[in-house]
Every structure is written in structure tokens, then in C-alpha cells.
Amino acid sequence: MLSAETILQEAKNLSEYMIALRRDIHAHPELGRQEYRTQALVIRELEAMGIEATPIADTGVLGVLRGGKEGKTIGLRADMDALPIKEDTGLPYASENDGVMHACGHDCHTASLLGAAKLMAAHKEELCGNVKFFFQPNEEGDGGAQRMVDAGCLENPTVDAVFGGHNSTGEVPGVYGLKYDKCYAASNTFTVTIKGKGCHGAYPGSGLDPIVVASQIVVGLQTLTSRRIYATDSAIVTVGSFHAGTAGNIIPETVELKGTIRTLGPKMRADMCRWFTELVEGTAKAMGAEAIVELRESHPGVVNEEAFTALVHESMAKLVGRENIRIAREPNMGTEDFGAFMKRDLSVPGCFCSFGFGDNGVDCKYPAHSPFHRVNEDGLAYAAALFAQVCFDYLNK
Ligand SMILES: [Zn+2]
Ligand SMILES: [Zn+2]
């Protein structure tokens, strides 16, 4: 089996290849569901390596590398979409697509996974099992991961574990971040319409004021997180939009509320969504109004499976030493659609980590989704090396 030293050295030897790809993708960013150029680039590169590559979920790519020996199947994921941001980095390879920018570093994810694919394709005879490459569309939008799962990316051959990661400019290349168990929050979005009865503002008795009902609901919703769950659990209910009315002396007919619910783990998600609906409908009913609740499931969140995460932890240690692994204690209440590859019931063990792409705050000091966002491209080799190391450790153990 390949040593970690060899894997890291081979990944570093592919740096030039990955940097060229990353800059090409960076200069030609595409929004979610429109990743046609990126899709063609990924298919071209995978086919040149002798890896089967097919379009999936409209603008995604599924690659399959079959190892020289029988064994399990691992799925590796990179997202390919950019954001509706006007780039202001001044880099020579800055976006040529006005108003669209790779400001979340998905260009780095795509390039490093292609580098890992090239590394592993060169050693496929030594691999016991298969590697599937999930180049997914639209992570920032409605979730390309779920659409790839719906299109069957986890079957034929059946995927036994999934691995992925996100770049972090908070750490330098050669440092990895890892979180056991609950890692990213699940996200649900809602629209609530409160139906009252409009009337003159001077005669509330002749109507039913939906603004007062909605206000009661907004306040009541905050008791879900303060009174229904343990203080050691985490959940968020945010009402980010409250719209009603046209004039100060008219009680309107309806109010529309929009917001998001963030939870950690499948049970909290199910509980919070049920309580939310009960509270909204029940409060409206108690006040003589009616509430129409539209609750939409967005990203499922990420829960890293214990045993597979321990394996990833060991792979990281072999490459960079334990002192260069940052174990996070707190989950992130932001979200990531990677969790869709683990399935709703978490029956596919998975692990999502972070790769250092920073430079101690010199040029790479801007957060993701900033028009000034920059990364340290030395991170590509370490991301590619980790993809490959996890594959060898999982398939050949
Ligand atoms: Zn993002
Ligand atoms: Zn991202």
C-alpha cells in the first residue's frame, strides 16, 4: 500500500495541474444549476484519466474508478457552483463572468478532487474496491446533493461511506479541521400566512387583526428554543421577514412571515418542525384567526459518523501529524448539503472536514461569500492528499 509520504508527495507533484484547473474554473464561475462549462471540464479531465464519467442531476458529474481488486465503494464529494457576487480581488484570473464569483472556494474543491482522482487513477491496480466521485451542482442553492442521490449516485455500485470537506482560510495548508458527531445544522425554511379580517383601524371589533396574531406567534416561537429543549441542545427559529398592511388606519386582511429553522441531528429537526406547526396553528386558532404553514425541508445538515470519522482522523494524522489537526468542539449552525449523501436516516456513514487554505491572514483574510475572498492554493495538494489517503485507508484496511 502507498505510504502517506508518497501520497502527499504525489499530491504536491500535481499542484501545478490543480492550480491551472482551479484558476480556469475560478475565471469562469457558474451559478448553481448552470454549471455546464465546469461539468464539461470535469468530464474531460476524468475521461483523460481513464475514469468513467457521466452527467447526473443536469449539471453534476458522477465519476467511477474501479480498483484492481474487489472491495467496498467510497464516495468523494466536491461542489462546483459559484455565487452571485461581483468579484473584487483584482487577481489576474478573477471572474470573467460579471456578477458571478467563486467566493466560497468550490473551485478549489473541484480542482483538488480532480487532483485526487488523477493520483488514484495512477494507482488503481492497488485499490481494493471502487471510488465514486460526486461533482455536485448547486450547493449554495436548493441542494444539488439531494438531486444526485435521487438520481441514484449511491447505487450501482452501492456506496458504503462518503467523504468531503470545505476549504477554510482560518487555517493554513497542512492543517485539517475535524468535528465528531453533529457538525452542521439542518435547515428548514417556512412561509406562514395569517388570515384575519381586514377593517377600519378605528373599529377592530368589526374585523380580526392578523398583525396582533402574528406578533403573538413571533414571540411564541422564541419559547420553542428557550422552553421546549434542553439548554445543552441547540436550535434556532428566526423570523426574518414580517409583511403586512398598507396604511396606518387599516387593519389588513393577512400577514406573511418568512424564516428559517436550524437544528442539529434528525430527531431535533423532526421535533422542532412539529412544535413549530403546532404553535403557529394553535396560536392563530386560539385568537380566532387561521394560519397556513408552508414548511420546506432545505439542507439536511451533517452528522459525522463515529467510526468513519475516527478513520479520517487517522488518515489526517498520517499526512500532517496530530498536532496539525484541529478538533472542533462546537457544531456550526450554518448548513451544508453534504449530509444528503448520508441519507435521511444516516444509513451511509460519512465524514465532512475542513482543509486549511489560509495564509495567516496576509492576503486570505476575507470570509467566504466576500467579494475579496482569496485562498492559498498550497491547500490544493493537502486536500487532494487527504481525499486519496482516506480512500486507501478505507478500501484497503
Ligand atoms: Zn458558501
Ligand atoms: Zn461552500
pLDDT digits (tens, 9 = 90+) for 115-152: 999 999 999 999 999 999 999 999 998 899 999 999 99
The three grid cell numbers given for residue 20, joined into one nine-digit string: 491551472
Q: Are 1 and 126 in contact (CB under 8 A)?
A: yes
Closest ligand to the CA of 338: 2
Average pLDDT of every residue of the chain:
97
Q: Are 93 and 114 in contact (CB under 8 A)?
A: no
- Domain final position from 268, 297, 326: 297
Residues 155 and 231 in one domain: no
User: Rounded to the nearest whole angstrom, what is the distance from the C-alpha of residue 373 to the centroid of ligand 2?
Assistant: 12
Residue 385: count other Cβ atoms within 10 Å of its Cβ: 30
String of DSSP letters for 56-85: ETTTEEEEEEE-SEEEEEEEEEEE--BBS-
Domain total in the chain: 2
User: Rounded to the nearest whole angstrom, what is the distance from the C-alpha of residue 140 to the centroid of ligand 2?
Assistant: 7
Residues 202 and 78 in one domain: no
Between 298 and 153, whose confidence is greater? Answer: 153
- The model's pTM is 0.92
Amino acid at 3: S
Residues 127 and 62 in one domain: yes
Mean pLDDT within 7-29: 98
Closest ligand to the CA of 83: 1
pLDDT for residue 295: 97
The three grid cell numbers given for residue 116, joined into one nine-digit string: 485526487
Residues 250 and 312 in one domain: no
Residues 150 and 15 in one domain: yes
Q: Are 81 and 135 in contact (CB under 8 A)?
A: no
What whole-number percentage of the chain has pLDDT above 70?
Answer: 100
Structural Rg of the chain based on CA atoms: 24
User: Rounded to the nearest whole angstrom, what is the distance from the C-alpha of residue 355 to the centroid of ligand 1?
Assistant: 15
d(CA 95, CA 89): 9
User: Rounded to the nearest whole angstrom, what is the distance from the C-alpha of residue 79 to the centroid of ligand 2?
Assistant: 8
d(CA 184, CA 181): 9
Residues 13 and 121 in one domain: yes
The three grid cell numbers given for residue 244, joined into one nine-digit string: 403586512
User: Rounded to the nearest whole angstrom, what is the distance from the C-alpha of residue 102 to the centroid of ligand 1?
Assistant: 9
Residues 290 and 363 in one domain: no
User: Rounded to the nearest whole angstrom, what is the distance from the C-alpha of residue 104 to the centroid of ligand 1?
Assistant: 5
Q: Residue 97 to residues 21, 25, 58, 101: CA-CA distances in angstroms?
A: 17, 11, 21, 8
d(CA 90, CA 22): 16
Mean pLDDT within 255-271: 96
pLDDT in tens, 319-337: 999 999 999 999 999 999 9
User: Rounded to the nearest whole angstrom, what is the distance from the C-alpha of residue 36 to the centroid of ligand 1?
Assistant: 19
User: Rounded to the nearest whole angstrom, what is the distance from the C-alpha of residue 367 to the centroid of ligand 2?
Assistant: 11
d(CA 295, CA 317): 42
pLDDT for residue 142: 85
User: Rounded to the nearest whole angstrom, what is the distance from the C-alpha of residue 51 to the centroid of ligand 1?
Assistant: 28
Question: What is the CATH number for 272?
Answer: 3.30.70.360
User: 105's torsion region: left (phi>0), alpha (psi -120 to 50) or beta?
Assistant: left
- As residues whose CB is below 5 A from the ion ligand 1, the structure lists 104
Contacts of 233 (CB under 8 A, 6+ apart): 264, 268
125, burial (CB in 10 Å: exposed 0-12, middle 13-18, buried 19+): exposed
User: Rounded to the nearest whole angstrom, what is the distance from the C-alpha of residue 89 to the centroid of ligand 2?
Assistant: 18
- Domain final position from 297, 313, 328: 297
pLDDT for residue 97: 98
User: Rounded to the nearest whole angstrom, what is the distance from the C-alpha of residue 369 to the centroid of ligand 1?
Assistant: 6
Scan for cell 436516516, then name that residue: 345
Residues 310 and 272 in one domain: no
Question: What is the CATH number for 358?
Answer: 3.40.630.10
β-sheet bridge partners, residue 29: none
Q: Is the pLDDT of residue 91 over 90?
A: yes
User: Rounded to the nearest whole angstrom, what is the distance from the C-alpha of residue 225 to the centroid of ligand 2?
Assistant: 27
Closest ligand to the CA of 79: 2
Task: Give the closest residue to 233 by CA, choosing from 260, 177, 259, 272.
Answer: 272
d(CA 224, CA 214): 16
pLDDT for residue 344: 86
User: Rounded to the nearest whole angstrom, what is the distance from the C-alpha of residue 189 to the centroid of ligand 1?
Assistant: 17
d(CA 290, CA 292): 7
pLDDT in tens, 380-389: 999 999 999 9
User: Rounded to the nearest whole angstrom, what is the distance from the C-alpha of residue 335 to the centroid of ligand 1?
Assistant: 9
- Domain final position from 273, 297, 321: 297
Residues 263 and 330 in one domain: no
The three grid cell numbers given for residue 268, joined into one nine-digit string: 431535533
Residues of the domain holding 264: 187-297
User: 61's torsion region: left (phi>0), alpha (psi -120 to 50) or beta?
Assistant: beta
- As residues whose CB is below 5 A from the ion ligand 2, the structure lists 104
String of DSSP letters for 104-146: S-HHHHHHHHHHHHHHHHTTGGG-EEEEEEEEES-TTTT-HHH
Residues 335 and 246 in one domain: no
Between 1 and 32, whose confidence is greater? Answer: 32
User: Rounded to the nearest whole angstrom, what is the distance from the C-alpha of residue 298 to the centroid of ligand 2?
Assistant: 15
Residues 208 and 160 in one domain: no
Q: Are 260 and 188 in contact (CB under 8 A)?
A: yes
User: Rounded to the nearest whole angstrom, what is the distance from the C-alpha of residue 374 to the centroid of ligand 2?
Assistant: 13
Q: Residue 5 to residues 322, 379, 385: CA-CA distances in angstroms?
A: 15, 16, 10
What whole-number percentage of the chain has pLDDT above 90?
Answer: 97
Q: What's the count of helices (H) and strands (E) in the chain, helices before strands? A: 9, 16
Residue 157: count other Cβ atoms within 10 Å of its Cβ: 14
User: Rounded to the nearest whole angstrom, what is the distance from the C-alpha of residue 211 to the centroid of ligand 1?
Assistant: 35
Closest ligand to the CA of 106: 2
User: Rounded to the nearest whole angstrom, what is the distance from the C-alpha of residue 105 to the centroid of ligand 2?
Assistant: 6
User: Rounded to the nearest whole angstrom, what is the distance from the C-alpha of residue 197 to the centroid of ligand 2?
Assistant: 44
Residues 19 and 155 in one domain: yes
Mean pLDDT within 187-215: 98
User: Rounded to the nearest whole angstrom, what is the distance from the C-alpha of residue 369 to the centroid of ligand 2?
Assistant: 8
User: Rounded to the nearest whole angstrom, what is the distance from the C-alpha of residue 222 to the centroid of ligand 2?
Assistant: 29
